[in-house]
Amino acid sequence: MLLALGLTALVGWLPLPDAVLRNLENRHPAPMAVVAGQLQAYTGVVVLGGSKERLKAAVTLLRQHPHLRLLFTGGDGKWWASGPTEADEAEAFFKRMGVPADRVLYERASRTTYENAVLGAAVPGVDITQPWLLVTSARHMPRALAVFRAVGWNIAPSPMDYRSVGFSRWTDYSLARGAVRWQLVLHEWMGLAAYSVAARLSLRA
């Protein structure tokens, strides 16, 4: 009983999940050249998933840097799904925003980060030896960057969608908000652990 109460108290005490999430999000900041908007050295941008923030950021990059191409990789994360993929929805969004069709490549079958990297590399017109930027949420970047580089991509991080902006006060408490933040952290920790185990098993095979 006391243990359950203690765990509940920790879940809702916001400084703790915020600190853990901040550590996860700050592992791979964007290179200084990217921060300064100097992207001449990069061939294109890889965008993972269909959040509106990532799509809007991709449109901004394409407008500011006419030489860049974009690879959007994302199927449907539900194994049983048969509806529109994330790539289908992204394509419709880019059309509405007036992005020229010849500047965007799509990969529509992936359901995991590993499949994003592998299937994205197989898209005609993609050369993974050329320098690319990886756009995904900051909390997802450690896992995504490790997977893409393991597959052989020459890729640099361009994280966004930070959730740990600012610092919580020591007195901040919210069971609902704390649970959401712990869910984000645990999802990424489990993903990192799974890919780490898979990599070790493949090395032993």
Hey, what domains does the chain have and what are their CATH numbers?
A: 27-157 (3.40.50.620)
The pLDDT, as a whole number, for residue 198 is 64
Per-residue tokens: 25: 């999000």
51 vs 69: CA distance, rounded Å:
19
The pLDDT, as a whole number, for residue 203 is 36
The pLDDT, as a whole number, for residue 75 is 87
- One-letter identity of residue 6: G
Strands across the sheet containing 44-48: 104-107, 69-73, 44-48, 132-135, 155-157
Total Cβ atoms within 10 A of residue 55: 21
Total Cβ atoms within 10 A of residue 23: 12
> Given the DSSP bridges, would you call strands 155-157 and 132-135 parallel, antiparallel or unpaired?
parallel
12 vs 74: CA distance, rounded Å:
33
| Tens-level pLDDT at each residue, the chain (205 residues) | 655 555 565 655 566 767 777 888 888 888 887 877 889 999 999 999 868 888 998 999 999 999 999 999 998 756 565 678 899 999 999 999 999 999 999 999 998 899 999 999 999 999 999 999 999 988 889 999 999 999 999 999 999 887 776 656 656 656 667 677 777 777 777 777 777 766 644 434 3
Question: Which SS3 state, helix, strand or coil, does residue 31 take?
Answer: coil
Polymer length in residues for the chain: 205
